[in-house]
Structure 1
Amino acid sequence: MNIATTHSMTESPQERLAAILDSHQPSSILTVSLNPIPVVAQWCADHNCTLVEIQEQNPFPALGDIDRVDIAIVADQLEYMPHHDGEALMGLLRNLHTDSMVAVYQPTLAPQKLRWPTNGFLALGCREQGHFAEDGRELNIYSYDLDNYNFERKWNNPRFWANPENWGKYWW
């Protein structure tokens, strides 16, 4: 279940992002952002982590030279891209470059015609990790992790299988 939470001044977006990195303990991070992300650079320096940065208006050509990384972070990028390009970027990262991804999105920075729909990140399999609002500004953090994006269903086991003796034997 994805539950949106508004964080008070007790936790900042930077602290939330650092907590996500702490929980993953990556050895390599890719950032796709028009501007540097200081909290990520500091985390990498403190944890002997390789940081690869793409700071391009059009990040697609640079992604061709990037190998797989432990986690990818997209920030200050999706607000300035057409929605279909943003979806393509997130899908490309998720499918080719990493098993874990974080998107930091500020809807109020995006022009109205470029804003993502409310469920746009959820449609890509992301979970909301935080919603921060202060002085008319908003920031949302979403994450995707291949290992836990699709929860285990209680009905998907041999007990509910039409032929339980064939469970796990045949793949079609």
Structure 2
Amino acid sequence: MNTAIASKAIETPQEKLAAILDSHQPRSLLTISLNPVPVAEHWARDHDCELTRIQELNPFDDLERISRVDMAVVADQLEYMTRRDGEALLGLLRNLHTDSMVAVYQPLLAPEKLRWPHNGFLALGCREEGHFAQEGRELDIYSYDLDSYNFRRSWNNPRFWANPENWGKYWW
């Protein structure tokens, strides 16, 4: 008899973040948050992962002293920054410090003038991982992974070039 095993649906933001960490298996993890991120801390401890924490309203100075990490988690941080500073933070992480990052964002916690629109994260190449709402609170999880953010296009190869013999020879 063949019985299908149903996988448990992810019900909480903590379970979702743990699932993302499990899928990436980082060996070094950076958390940027004004408060501790228990899921990341427990995961790092249980998986022998090097954990670096930044708990500052302005994390940029501390970021200058940090080398590359396998993954970064930004939680309870963007709600208190201007959108420009938040974009700069995520861009700095994405471009200099890691190939994978997770942003946990609570839009209703941010003052209205600092709230990010949904497409603000998508514009930075992030993917929506989940939206959680409970008892008047909302939380969104976005992720960025350099290896999967940009899908391969079937037309981007030498077969569709005007001069296929020049594919890969010249950069302009």
Q: TM-score range by the shorter chain?
A: over 0.9
Between the two structures, name the one with larger relative contact order (CA 8 Å, sep ≥ 6). 1
Deviation, 1:135, is 1.3
What's the CA shift for 1:10? 4.7
- Taking only the aligned residue pairs, the percentage that are identical comes to 76
Q: State TM-score, norm by structure 2.
A: 0.92
Do 2:13 and 2:132's aligned partners in 1 also have CA atoms closer than 8 Å? yes
Q: Contact 2:32 / 2:55 at 8 angstroms: preserved in 1?
A: yes
Larger Rg: 2
CA separation in 2, counterparts of 1:98 and 1:66? 11
RMSD over equivalenced CA pairs, Å: 1.1
Q: Deviations over 1:43-91 (max 9, x none)?
A: 0111000000000111111111111000001000000111101001111
Code of the residue aligned with 2:121 in structure 1: it is F
Q: Which residue of 1 aligns with 2:4?
A: none
Unaligned runs of 5+ in 1: 1-8
Aligned residues: 164
Question: What's the CA shift string for 1:118-169, capped at 9, x where partnerless?
Answer: 2000010100011111111110000011111111111111221111222222
| TM superposition outliers: structure 1 runs of 4+ over 6 Å | none
**Residue of structure 2 equivalent to 1:106:** 106
- What 5-or-longer segments of structure 2 have no aligned partner? 1-8
Kept in 1: contact 2:69–2:98 (CA 8 A): yes
Q: TM-score, normalised by structure 1?
A: 0.92
